[in-house]
Amino acid sequence: MRIGIYGGTFNPIHRGHLTAARAAMDVLGLDRLLLIPASVPPHKALPQGSAEPADRLEMAALACAQLGPVAQALDIELHRTGPSYTVDTLRQLRMEHPEDELWLLMGTDMFLSLERWYHASDILSLAHIGAFDRAHPQPGEDLAAQKRLLETKYGATVAIIANRQVIDLSSTQVREALAAGRGRDLVTDPVYGYIQRRGLYGVHTDLHHLTPDQLRPIALSYLKPKRMPHVLGTEQEAVRLARQYGADETQARIAALLHDCTKKLDMDRQLALCRQYGIPLDDLEQHALKLLHAKTGAAIARDVFAVDDAVYRAIYWHTTGHANMTKLEKIIYLADYIEPSRDFPGVDDLRRAVHADLDRGLLKALDDSIRDMQQWGNPVHHNTLDARDYLLRGKQI
């Protein structure tokens, strides 16, 4: 396996970093790309107003959505005390990947000063070097000379990576633009949403009065990259159903965008939020992780974004459903179930049923869910049974 290692302060990670990373993936044929934020960079002090290490890690993780599933952000340097020396990171990664080919990626300035790095000779023995080149189409002579020197003196393997989509941009420029009320286009949408939500780099956003378009990047910032297409697809389907069945489109968009905002949290954090917001849990919910994110997500939506009660309830009930659901609750439950990225046996039949008749489609969705849960040997929540039985009693259809 060929693994790229791209470290930096990522304060914040921006589109210049990502075009370079993409170039390395393409030129070197990387199987994995590791983005590694430094906790305490040894070569420069972080300026006042910088994001905390945990924030820079989270932004790097969100930026991975732009690079695909081969990219991953690692906290390997955030757990150490003292400066984040590259050689220590490479030693740890070499132990974890003894048979893999490691490529340390770096910009032009770093590459030209590599011999002065802490334990430079060890670095060159632990990993190959991939240096980004700003010049096109031929590498600059200074890079070529440095490549020859490292290969001759240290026996290093060095590749000069042409970045044909280069965006010549520094994190300093990004921070300055953000502080001045600009710069949204310099970072990805989820990263910008995270900056807004956390109030980083002098960005101040009123989270209580957001349109769906303003909310979207912030909602994405709560998610793992692999879940982002699902949430965007749920919004798309919720709009379609709201228009077809006469529900409030803005409410549908907001509920869809926030319905999974706590999905990635583990059991301990879910239960902590339930305690914080006074959310009652029955015996099944106290042990079933997948049932909690709807309740905690609704609480976050109301607390952080001041959503109205209809949106709160649509998020709260989107996993189990309940008897006598409102139209918006039905739409979010079903949009989550049949959004375009869903691909399971019978989904097309369910989509046709939903778009033919909302309540009959809901009954089919509930029946399918109950049947699947029973086949898997999983307990079915009583609210799901109640929702199905209410429809069967003919009060809705």
**Could you report the per-residue pLDDT of 73-125, keeping only the tens digit for each?**
999 998 888 888 999 999 999 999 999 999 999 999 899 999 999 999 999 99
Contact 51, 11 (CB under 8 A): yes
Alpha-carbon span 327 to 245, nearest angstrom:
8
Query: Model confidence over 21-59: pLDDT tens digits?
Result: 999 999 999 999 999 999 887 777 788 889 999 999 999
Q: Which two tokens stand for residue 242?
A: 């709201």
Nearest residue to 132 via CA among 113, 150, 107, 169: 107
Q: How confident is the model at residue 141 (pLDDT cuts 50, 70, 90)?
A: confident
Rounded CA separation 56/65 (Å):
15
Residue from 173, 172, 220 nearest 196 by CA: 220
pLDDT tens digit sequence for 180-189: 999 999 999 9
In whole angstroms, give the CA distance from residue 283 to residue 382.
Answer: 11
- Contact (Cβ atoms closer than 8 angstroms) between residue 326 and residue 288: no
Q: What mean pLDDT comes out for the span 144-155?
A: 95
Q: Is residue 135 very low, low, confident or very high in pLDDT (cuts 50, 70, 90)? A: low
> 3-class DSSP state for residue 66?
helix
The whole-number average pLDDT for the span 329-353 is: 97
Task: Kindly give the residue spans of alpha helices, DSSP state H, lying in the chain.
Answer: 15-28, 53-63, 86-96, 108-112, 120-126, 141-154, 171-179, 189-198, 212-220, 228-245, 249-258, 267-276, 292-305, 309-316, 327-338, 347-356, 358-375, 382-392
Phi and psi of 32, rounded to 5°? -140, 150
Beta bridge partners of 161: 132
State mean pLDDT over 263-271. Answer: 98
Edge-to-edge strand list for the sheet holding 2-8: 71-73, 32-37, 2-8, 101-106, 128-133, 158-162
Contact 72, 34 (CB under 8 A): yes
CB count, 10 Å around CB of 152?
A: 9
**Is pLDDT at 251 greater than 80 in this prediction?**
yes
The rounded percent of the chain whose pLDDT value lies above 90 is 89
Among the ranges given (138-152, 262-276, 284-298, 329-343), the one the predictor scored with the smallest mean pLDDT: 138-152
Quote the Cα angle for 265-55-129, to 5°: 110
Average pLDDT over the chain, rounded to an integer: 95
